[in-house]
Amino acid sequence: MAVDNTVYVDGERLPRPLPLDQTYDVAREQGGLAWISLFQPSGDDLASVAAEFGLHALAVEDTIKAHQRAKLERYGETLFVVLKTARYLDEPEVIEFGELHIFTGKNFVVTVRHSGAPDLAGVRHRIEQQGDFLCRGSEAILYAIIDWVVDGYAPVVAGLENDIDEIEEEVFSGSPDASRRIYELSREVIEFQRATKPLTGMLNALTAGFDKYGIAPELQSYLRDAQDHVVRVNEQVEGFRQLLQSILSVNLTIVSLAQNEEMQKLTEVSIAQNEEVKKISAWAAILFAPTLVGTIYGMNFVHMPELDWLLGYPFALLLMAAVCGGLYLVFSRRGWL
C-alpha cells in the first residue's frame, strides 16, 4: 500500500497526501518532484508506478521478490538502489535487518519497503526542513536516504562492541554458553558485513558519475560524508569479525585446558583407586593362605596322619605364618603394600 505520496514544487511540499493517480497528474502539471513511498505494495500498485515512470521490468521483478543483496543498477536515466538497513535491539541483544528499494529518475523517487523497518518518516522530515536541499532534485532525496541508512549503522556497531566485551568476560569466567554466543554473534557480524560492504562500491560508482550527471557540489559533499562513514563501519566490522575468531580460538583453548585438567584429575583418581585395589587384593591373598590351611585341617577326616602327629598343630601354625610372611614380602617388593 502507499504510505506517503508527496509532490515537491520548488522544494516545498504540497499540503495534502494524494492518491497514486492524482500524484502522477500533479507532478506532471506542476513540474514537481514526486516521492512515492510504498509498503508491501500489491502487484497493481507496482505495475501502476512502473508504467508511469518507465521502471525497468527486471528491477520491478527484484522489488516484488525482495530479499536482494545491496546493489546499484542504472537503467537508462533511472537508478535502482537496494539498501540493507540494520538496527540494534537492546533487549534481545540482536540486530534486526531490513531492506529498502529505491527508484530515482529526473522527477520522481519511489521507495519500497517489505518490512516495518526502516521507517522513512525521519529522513523525510529532516530534508523537508531544508527546502533548498530538495530543489536539488531526486538525487538529493537518494543521497539523504543513503546517509540516513549509513548513520543508522553507528548504534549497531556500538551494540556489537558491547556484546563482544560481554563475550570476552564470559570466556575468561568459564561460562558454558560462551561458545554458542560467539557463534551467534559471528553470524550477525557476517550478515551485517554483507549489508555494509557492497556500499563501498555503490558509493564509488555514484561518486564517479558526479561530473557526467552534473551533481551539485553540496550533494557531492553529502555523499562523500556517507562514503567516509561506510569505510569506517566496514573497518570496524572486519575488526569485529577477526576479534571474534580470536576469541573463539581462545575459548577453545580454555575449554581444552579445562578438559585436560578434568582428565588429569580422573586419571589421578583412577591411579589412586588402583593402588587401593592392589592393597586390598594383597591383604586378601595374605589372609587367604591361613584360611586355606585351616580349612584343610578342619575337615576332620579319620585318616589324616597330621591329626595324630605330636608336632602337627605347631607345624600348621608355622606353615600359615610362613606362607603369610612370604606373600607379604612378595607384595611389598612389587609395591602393592
Domain edges within the chain: 1-130, 263-333
Count of CB atoms situated within 10 Å of the CB of 112? 23
Give me the mean pLDDT over the 97-120 stretch. 85
pLDDT at res. 80: 93
3-state secondary structure of 42: coil
CB 48 within 8 A of CB 22: no
Question: Please, which pLDDT band fits residue 180 given cuts at 50, 70 and 90?
Answer: confident
Question: Please, which pLDDT band fits residue 118 given cuts at 50, 70 and 90?
Answer: low
**pLDDT cut 90: percent of the chain above it:** 17
CB 77 within 8 A of CB 105: yes
Q: Which residues, in sequence order, are CB contacts of 260 under 8 Å at separation 6+?
A: none
pLDDT at res. 81: 93
DSSP codes of every residue in 142-173 = HHHHHHHHHHTHHHHHHHHHHHHHHHHHHHHH
Q: Residue 119 pLDDT more than 60?
A: yes
CATH class of 263-333: mainly alpha
Q: Which residues, in sequence order, are CB contacts of 189 under 8 Å at separation 6+?
A: 160, 237, 240, 241, 244
Distance CA 195, CA 68 (A): 10
Architecture of the CATH domain 1-130: 2-Layer Sandwich (3.30)
Contacts of residues 255-263 at CB distance under 8 Å and 24 or more positions apart, as own/partner, are 255/179, 258/174
Distance CA 137, CA 109 (A): 9
Q: Do domains 1-130 and 263-333 have the same CATH topology?
A: no
What's the mean per-residue pLDDT of the chain? 84
**Which one-letter amino acid corresponds to residue 232?**
R
Give me the mean pLDDT over the 24-34 stretch. 84
Model confidence, pTM? 0.73
Question: Please, which pLDDT band fits residue 301 given cuts at 50, 70 and 90?
Answer: low
